[in-house]
Amino acid sequence: MHSSHGARVATWDIWVRLTHWTVAGIVLWNLFGPTDQIHRVLGYCAAGLVASRLVWGVIGTRPARFSSWWPTRAQLVAYLRSLAAGQALHHASHNPLGALMAAALWFLIAALALSGFVMRLDAFWGEEWPQTVHYWLSVALQGCVVVHIVAAVAMSVWTRENLIAAMITGRKRRRA
């Protein structure tokens, strides 16, 4: 079959895509919505989905596995050099910078659930710091989300590989 768009290869399996868009929805809701019971239940759900994604990083499909994308320092340096040279290296799974961002986003979501749990414990009743920690973690997450979305759009335009569509359909263009 001939297609001007070229062959596409399965990249993101259904679990990566489902957890991504569900977690994204919860994070946006929890960042900008009311901090009620729903906020707390959804927050724990997001943390649970992140935990399942970490397990999937060991037993999941190849592109989902940490072994496919966890960046080494050498890969990071090579990737930064390729960006500086205006010729971004192609990575079948996450590129090394995207991988660092994924790890940061997961860490912040898990830490938000933990701090949210701690601030509701009787032992910390009347203490301010768990709220303060939760607040600053949410600020950090908000900043990372902005960078994440801008980077996903920018890299899609620059490399002419629609990464956002790939996170929906699961397919990326095949490269030589």
Query: Which positions ≥6 away from 138 have C-beta within 8 Å?
Result: 30, 31, 112
Question: Dihedral of the CA atoms 123, 127, 128, 132 (nearest 10)?
Answer: -20
Position among 13, 18, 22, 24 found at the interface with ligand HEM (CB under 6 A): 24
92 lies in the binding site for ligand HEM (CB under 6 A): no
Q: Which residues contact 79 (CB under 8 A, 6 or more apart)?
A: 71, 88, 89, 91, 95, 96, 97
Kindly state the tokens that stand for 61.
């499909």
Integer CA distances (angstroms), 66 to 55, 63, 70, 156, in order: 10, 8, 5, 22
List 129, 135, 136, 158, residue binding ligand HEM (CB under 6 A):
135
Nearer to ligand HEM, 7 or 28 (CB): 28
Q: Is residue 117 close enough to count as binding ligand HEM by CB under 6 A?
A: yes
Which residue lies nearer to ligand HEM by CB, 2 or 52?
52
Neighbours of 162 (CB within 10 A): 18
- x-or-dash string of contact with ligand HEM, 30-69, rule CB under 6 A: xx---x---xx--xx-x------x----------------
How many residues make contact with ligand HEM (CB under 6 A)?
40
Chain residues binding ligand HEM by CB under 6 A are 16, 20, 23-24, 26-28, 30-31, 35, 39-40, 43-44, 46, 53, 94, 98, 102, 105-106, 109, 112-113, 116-117, 120, 131, 134-135, 138, 141, 145, 148-149, 152, 163-164, 166-167
